[in-house]
Chain A
Amino acid sequence: MTQATALETDTTLTPARLNHLQALEAESISILREAVAEFARPVMLYSIGKDSSVMLRLAQKAFYPGKIPFPLLHVDTSYKFPEMIAFRDAYTKEIGAELIVHRNEEAIAAGANPYTLGTQNCCGLLKTRSLLDALAEGGFDAAFGGARRDEEKSRAKERVYSFRDQAGQWDPKNQRPELWNLYNSRLRKGESIRVFPLSNWTELDIWLYLYAEKIPIVPLYFAKERPLITRGGQMTLVHNGMKLLPGEEVRTEKVRMRSLGCLPCTGAMRSEADTLPKIIEELLTFRRSERENRAIDHDEEGSMEVKKREGYF
């Protein structure tokens, strides 16, 4: 945990009461270890975002002094921010993790994009299909994901061990009851389980932990002057090879990303927060939820639930 508390625990003979982050950390580590003990071939979905960064640190802690005993899987839509890819490659190398990158090359070659397909179909091809293919190719029976229950309404009902049928689909009405910390890992051939070690963390917990643990994150989270345009009502960062539509003008503003997805579908927000404490301070005064700038959640009422039923994380 934080240096101060680790020291405290170390020098006293009676253990201190755990604060909420220590309690969440202990629970997450236990979930990671339980899954590694019980599944034949786990993998960790690594999205490069802040939640993935926390999950990765928890995995390092869970298996210390050993290395992380499973590969990381990044589903690359080809629309990710270049800063994300650079960070991914450097950081996984630094910590010595095994990285698998999977792309739906067929759909990418066919020109799949959110503008002509709509975000629903584009996600379906480049994320959901690609993810299911990668899991099948790797023969993975369990996949760790960084989803949190506080993110979105349909996620509030998600189990820590989320059962998926042979087609990778989620049936919200037929979930296994989950009691205490006794997780049911039993599967038949072809079935799998998504394991969510961060289920009980909130967005604020994630930022506090990143701060307390000094965990590196993609620089896009910090405010900086960046070139951008307004498209579809959101501020979209300009990148190499982007075609401007008539009437679009590039301008520069001090912005940051609150959550990271694909470039065309993740909006930037105006911000002065260029350090973690400033981000946390800003978060505490926020009156809007973090997924609000994610176009994919707003296609229709309950759209995340529809995606999850199909196999999206």
Chain B
Amino acid sequence: MDTVATTNFEEFLDVHLAQELLRFTTAGSVDDGKSTLIGRLLHDTKSVYEDQLAAVKKSRVNRAANGHVDLSLLTDGLKAEREQGITIDVAYRYFSTSRRKFIIADTPGHEQYTRNMATGASTADVAVVLIDAKAFLREGKLLPQSRRHTYIASLLGIPHVVAAVNKMDLVGYAQESFRAIRKEFVEFASKLGLKSVTVIPVSALEGDNVVTPSRAMSWYDGPTLLEFLETVPLAVANHNDPLRFPVQLVQRPDANFRGFSGQVARGVLRAGDRVLALPSRRESTVKRIVTWDGDLHVAAYPQSVTVELEDEIDLSRGEMLVSAADAEHGLPEITRRLRAMVVWMHEEALVVGRTYIVKHTTRTVRATVKSIRYRVDVGSLDHVQADRLAMNEIAEVELETSLPLFFDAYSESRSTGSLILIDGLTNATIGAGMIVGTVESGAGENEQATLVLVPGRAALAERVRDALEARGHRAVVIDDALISDDAFVAVVRALELAGVAAISSRALFPERLAEVTRSIQGFAAGAIVSGDGVDDEEVVRLAGVRT
């Protein structure tokens, strides 16, 4: 916590109000000393209150030797942890210096709790990976957990990784030891494709190079851990990124106002911009960007705003606004079949063929695991075959969703490239996914049509239905006059959700037909077959009946 340096308090407040926020996560093995390191950061930045420190001093537990105050007790929150001496769940800590505000996600090192490391890493700008210098020298290599944590940091796309080589006091503050560790860590990190890697020798117990530069390691001329955290450049919202605005909530406080609320997930939104709604592909113009503090001309990631459009178009929660200028290039991937790196977080294994619930941006769908492409052996980083995924295992998985998702690769955008998997029975969050891309459609795969339109050919409609049913598919002819043209799209959509193909011989006006096709393209899994100018046999084949 800062002291008040200036006599002009208003000026001081302005400085405080202008501070940026940096989120970082800490990871390491059980005895690497993470909690002590965080305790040290909090203590040496004077972020600990006297009564908290007094409570630690009089605590029944003290694992620190030589009369040191056990700073790890400042962060070990839950009773069970204090008794067992291990951190069993991710804990969030807050402190600030005159330069920045910090949120720490303190994540446990125990192998069973890898899911928590992924949790803490998912929002972090920086990962601090602890390496026990003494254990490294004993083993002659990085511990498997350290490799695992560094790999997870790379998998979760954390922009900067810093290795804090801890317990330097126990290896005589020796420069050669530090060099050996740094060499192996940098090699491993570059193998993972990490771009920003920093290695700092520290002693959390003694306070060397955490906040204050170490006197015992005068050979080290790099930043202390805190200096690094205070100065590492924060990722800036890239204004050239394509716009992604997932609709969170449609607000209709009265008949005159209809606004689409959400958080800009990527890119920039400007009043007057032409935008495209997904999946309907209807275009409109941004009339206003509404906030309580007044209308904005421009909003960017990660601002929360409400968008009013010029036109009444079909748009609801789980759908997305993108820039109309991106309609040719720059659209998100729109597909039901995707590949994702999945970290499994549940005792019950992921099994191929099983259906789970997926939440991606503001969209919730069902998703079936079609295959596991490979599992990653985190020790060797080798790809191995697997047909199930146990807790804490990581694999590239193919998913087929009940409705299309609009996404970018996770490497492009964390907010539109991430998803969680939920068990539909227990409602537990069981996995985290980083989307890699669309599944390339293999040759010979012919999916059942969603909609078959054969205007004026009622007999053919019935024939297509019978042929589909004979092949074990479900299909319905929707020529009933009770289903109006207005309800047509909604009925097709409902049938699609139920996995039933819709067939119709009704004659729609060309504009109406175009509108129906466009509306359905956005959510449909299978092809839309138009029977215009196509002979009967071909229509049956196109509908997905193979002979």
Contact = CB atoms under 8 A, between A and B. Distances in A.
B427 interface: yes
B429 A305 contact: no
Nearest to B424: A186
Interface of B is mostly: mixed
Contacts, number: 218
20 contacts: A12-B297, A14-B298, A18-B303, A23-B21, A25-B304, A26-B263, A26-B303, A27-B302, A33-B249, A60-B292, A61-B292, A64-B291, A157-B92, A179-B122, A181-B263, A205-B101, A208-B17, A281-B4, A281-B9, A287-B49
A19 to B, nearest CB: 5
Nearest to B16: A208
Interface of B: 1-4, 9-10, 13, 16-21, 49-52, 59-60, 75-80, 82, 88-94, 96, 101, 103, 115-116, 118-119, 122-123, 234, 236-237, 239, 248-249, 251-254, 257, 259, 261-263, 268, 270, 290-300, 302-304, 306, 317, 345, 357, 359-360, 362, 414-415, 418-420, 422, 427-429, 432
Contacts of A180: 122-123, 414-415, 418, 420
A178 B253 contact: no
Given A66-B253, A156-B77, A23 B119 contact: no
A153 B77 contact: yes
Nearest to A20: B21
A6 interface: yes
A9 B262 CA distance: 18
Contact of A176 (B103, B236, B429): B429
A13 B298 contact: yes
Contacts of A27: 302, 304
A36 interface: yes
Residue from A11, A24, A184, A204 with most neighbouring chain B CB atoms (10 Å): A184
B302 A18 contact: yes
A277 interface: yes
A177 interface: yes
Given A10-B296, A176-B429, 12 more contacts: A6-B293, A15-B298, A17-B234, A30-B304, A61-B292, A181-B415, A204-B1, A280-B9, A280-B13, A284-B2, A284-B4, A305-B79
Contacts of A64: 290-292, 306
B293 to A, nearest CB: 4
Contacts of A202: 94, 96, 101
Contact of A67 (B90, B253, B300): B253
B115 A177 contact: yes
B104 to A, nearest CB: 10
A250 B23 CA distance: 48
B290 A65 contact: yes
B302 A26 contact: yes
B298 A9 contact: yes
A156 B303 contact: no
A287 B50 contact: yes
Interface in A124-146: none
Interface of A: 1-2, 6, 9-15, 17-27, 29-30, 33-34, 36-37, 60-67, 149-150, 153-157, 172-173, 175-182, 184, 186-188, 199-200, 202, 204-205, 208, 211-212, 277, 280-281, 284-289, 292, 301-302, 305
Contacts of B261: 33, 62
CB-CB nearest 10 A-B residue pairs? A66-B253, A20-B21, A153-B77, A186-B427, A15-B300, A29-B304, A289-B49, A179-B122, A61-B292, A64-B292
A155 B252 CA distance: 36
Contacts of A26: 263, 302-304
Contacts of B116: 177
B98 to A, nearest CB: 11
A286 B79 CA distance: 27
A6 to B, nearest CB: 4
A177 to B, nearest CB: 5
A156 B429 contact: no
Nearest to A186: B427
Contacts of B237: 15, 17
Contacts of A34: 248-249, 362
A150 B136 CA distance: 34
Contacts of B248: 30, 33-34, 37
Contact of B80 (A23, A153, A173, A175): A173
A184 B249 contact: no
A263 to B, nearest CB: 22
B92 A149 contact: yes
Contact of A15 (B17, B262, B303): B303
Given A30-B304, A156-B77, A175 B21 contact: no
A150 to B, nearest CB: 5
B156 to A, nearest CB: 9
B94 A149 contact: yes
A301 B419 CA distance: 38
A153 B300 CA distance: 35
Contacts of A17: 20, 234, 236-237
B251 A63 contact: yes
Contacts of B77: 153-157, 305
Given A1-B293, A15-B299, A176 B13 contact: no
Nearest to A11: B297
B427 A187 contact: yes
A154 B20 contact: no
B158 to A, nearest CB: 13
Contacts of A186: 357, 422, 427
B101 A199 contact: no
A61 B92 CA distance: 26
A190 to B, nearest CB: 13
B304 A36 contact: no
Contacts of A176: 428-429
Given A14-B239, A17-B20, A173-B89, A156 B75 contact: yes
A184 B359 contact: yes
Contacts of A21: 17
Contact of A204 (B82, B96, B115): B96
Contacts of B122: 179-180
